[in-house]
Structures are given as structure tokens and as C-alpha cells.
Amino acid sequence: MDTSRQLVSWLHEQQLSIALSTYQIGKLFLLGVKPSGELSVFERNFSRCMGLCPSPNGFYLSSLNQIWRFENMLEPGQLHEQFDRLYVPQLSYTTGDLDIHDMALTDAGQLIFVNTLFGCLATVSATHSFKPLWKPAFLSKLAAEDRCHLNGLAMMDGKPSYVTAVAQCDVADGWREHRTQGGIVIDVATNEIVLSGLSMPHSPRWHNGKLWLLNSGTGEFGYADLSTGRFEPICFCPGYMRGLAFHGQFALIGLSKPRNNKTFTGLALDEQLTKRNAQPRCGIQIVDLRSGDIVHWLRFEGLVEELYDVIVLPGVRTSMALGFKTDEINRVISIEQ
């Protein structure tokens, strides 16, 4: 892992940590700053982990067939070894393999997730795999066919507001034929398509009065001008983008190296990388929204070639999480007061 010179200083100044997921090798990464001033990197294994969602005292993580809720077990000012947060997988919902992508919490605390396999927004159920809440109007039925590759969710005022899909398609796996210009943004409240002509869009987020998103097939990060129905890019990122989080005037964007298969080849991203004489990267790009400049970055080398999601953990210096591969979880016991 390599970083820009000032990344660790920036994390320290901004008083935040970062959580990342990679389904490629099934790992959750927690990045922060050690008391010594060095970068802290902590990892745990969760099969096909993808969506991440902050919660008041931790975060949610989707995996191959479950959604996990992690809770911080430390009191303010308490340390576990050198860590000021100890995240425990306290609760899980068994969903089956729904290919869950983005997740978010409503203002009432309800977990909403993008059920990509069925092409709908859903929530967890105590008795079933999921409870559907909304689907695009162009889908004729709920079916486990990944028809449009619904993937991204933006919340506004604590409610689901916009979603992204790779194509407006109503046949099994039909989105793959429309990767270059079939991408759309849908208004959840009206079920209207408010933006089209995108290339494999991901990670819509409402921030500072704008709908930001990743036009992943072109490598462009920008925002939707909802008055004109146009996408306005502010910068190019050298990789396949998935995962978008904000901290003030900064955007944190996840980058992956495109897989050498039909899903990721033949996109405008390939042409842009060749034009700029650049190789695709895997890591995090931190963009200053005021200028569009990439001011800090983190790069993975070796086994990690794809990321899915990224979230910021404000006020967290350095954190760790428990998993199930070791017996640590047997010895961490908490009592609710």
C-alpha cells in the first residue's frame, strides 16, 4: 500500500478514519492514524463484502448472504490496545445472495439497501430474506434476474431520493448490452428518469445541494444538473470508480482496476487511460470539490485490485473490528447498562 505524502497528515487534521470494502478478496479495511503518526491499516475477512453504511455507533456491511451491523464497544476516551474504536459484528440478517450494493439509513433508522439481483430497493426482515420497498416503473415484475443492474442509492432528508442503474432494461441480464450509454438516474419519489446517457453509473450521493455520482464507464466524477438533465464532470480518475463518500469540501472515491472481461472492456475509460498514457489504479482518490483537483490518494498493490465501497468515520482516530476467523470475539463481552 502506498499513499500521497500528506494523506496521513490530512486524516489527522480532519479527525477521521476510512472504511473500505473489497468483494474481490472478501476484506473489510479500516484505515486511520496510529498514535505514532503512521498509517493504521486493519483488515478482517467477510466473504464478498460490498455495501457500507455509517450508523450512529458504527456501520453496516453487506456480505455474500448476510448484512452485518457493527457496534463500537468502547466508551469515549477508552482504548483497546492502540485503538479508540472496537467494532463488533453485533447483529446480522441472513438475506441469501441478493448481490447487495449500496446501503443507507433513513432518518427513522430503517436500513435500506439496493437489491441488485431483484432490481429493487429493500429492507431487512426478521422472517424473510428481504422486504421490497420500491422498484423502477419499467420493471414488469420482481425477479432474480438482475435485469437493469440497479446499484446506487442517494438519500436526501433521510429518505431514498435517487438511484442509479446501468440500463433501462426488462429482460434477464439485459443491462450488459447497454454499458456504454445506457446508464440512468431515477427519481424514487416520481419514478421518472432524470438523467440518461451515462456509462455504468455508480454511487449517487446528495451533498451540499447537489446530486453527485460516478460515471464509472468514462472515469468521470461529477454532478447531475437536474434542471437540464445533464451530467457535469469535474475530474477524471484513473480507474473504474465505485464508492463515494464526502467530508466537507472533499470527496473520497474508490478506484478499481477493470477486470479483463466483457463487462469492463470496450468502455470510454479504456480510451481515456490510453490517451493520458496512464495505467488503471486501485485505491482511494480524494478530490477537492472546489477545484476538481486530486489532493490526496492511497493505492493498493498486489492482491487487492477492486474496491466496492468507502465511508468516512468522523471523529475516529484508529479502529479495529472483530471477525470470526480468530477466537478474540469469544473474549469481548459487553453489558448493556
H helices of 132-181, in order, are none
Question: CB of 183 within 8 A of CB of 169?
Answer: no
Q: Which residue has the cell 478506484?
A: 255
Local structure of 167: helix, strand or coil: coil
CA pair distance 262, 251, nearest whole angstrom: 29
Task: Mark 314-329 as b/e (b = at least 16 C-beta within 10 Å).
Answer: eebbbbbbbbeeeeee
Question: CB of 46 within 8 A of CB of 61?
Answer: yes
Residue 275 is predicted with a pLDDT of 96
Q: pTM of the predicted model, to two decimals?
A: 0.96
Question: CB of 153 within 8 A of CB of 111?
Answer: no
Residue 261 is predicted with a pLDDT of 65
The tens place of each residue's pLDDT in the chain, 337 residues long, gives 899 999 999 999 999 999 999 999 999 999 999 999 999 999 999 999 999 999 999 999 999 999 999 999 999 999 999 999 999 999 999 999 999 999 999 999 999 999 999 999 999 999 999 999 999 999 999 999 999 999 999 999 999 999 999 999 999 999 999 999 999 999 999 999 999 999 999 999 999 999 999 999 999 999 999 999 999 999 999 999 999 999 999 999 999 998 776 777 789 999 999 999 999 999 999 999 999 999 999 999 989 999 999 999 999 999 999 999 889 999 999 999 8
CA pair distance 86, 70, nearest whole angstrom: 9
Domain 2-323: CATH architecture, name and number where available: 6 Propeller (2.120)
Q: Where are the domains of the chain?
A: 2-323
Strands, E assignment, 95-209: 100-105, 111-115, 120-123, 131-134, 150-156, 159-165, 183-187, 192-198, 201-207
Residue 76 is predicted with a pLDDT of 94
